[in-house]
């Protein structure tokens, strides 16, 4: 597990969660993914069980794919369709 001091921007969010939440989140691979789940858990007040479910359902990856698809669609649409 990586020490929290390497992630100063996440320290405030980290302090607001339980050790069990943090243990799950800081086992994740990327800093962006950790930040995503820290913010989501703080905002939605997830229990440890719910956080685990969200991680297992790859909510982070799905949100990235969703944003990529939306930006691709907006580039493909002909002029005049942006305002619909």
Helix axes 48-56, 31-44, angle to 10 degrees: 140
Three-state DSSP at 17 gives coil
| pLDDT band at residue 60 using 50, 70 and 90 as cut-offs | very high
The structural domain count of the chain equals: 1
Q: Is residue 12 included in any domain, yes or no? A: yes
Q: How many CA atoms lie within 13 A of 84 on its CB side?
A: 6
Q: Is residue 83 included in any domain, yes or no? A: no
What is the structure's pLDDT at 76? 47
d(CA 76, CA 34): 32
**DSSP state at residue 82:** T
Q: Is residue 81 included in any domain, yes or no? A: no
pLDDT above 80 for 26: yes
What is the structure's pLDDT at 73? 45
């Amino acid at each position: 597990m990586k020490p929290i001091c390497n992630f100063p921007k996440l320290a405030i969010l980290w302090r607001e969660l339980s050790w069990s939440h943090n243990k799950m989140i800081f086992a994740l691979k990327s800093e962006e993914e950790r930040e995503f789940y820290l913010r989501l858990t703080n905002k939605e007040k997830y229990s440890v069980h719910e956080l685990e479910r969200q991680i297992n359902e790859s909510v982070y990856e799905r949100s990235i794919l969703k944003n990529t698809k939306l930006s691709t669609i907006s580039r493909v649409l002909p002029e005049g369709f942006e305002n619909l």
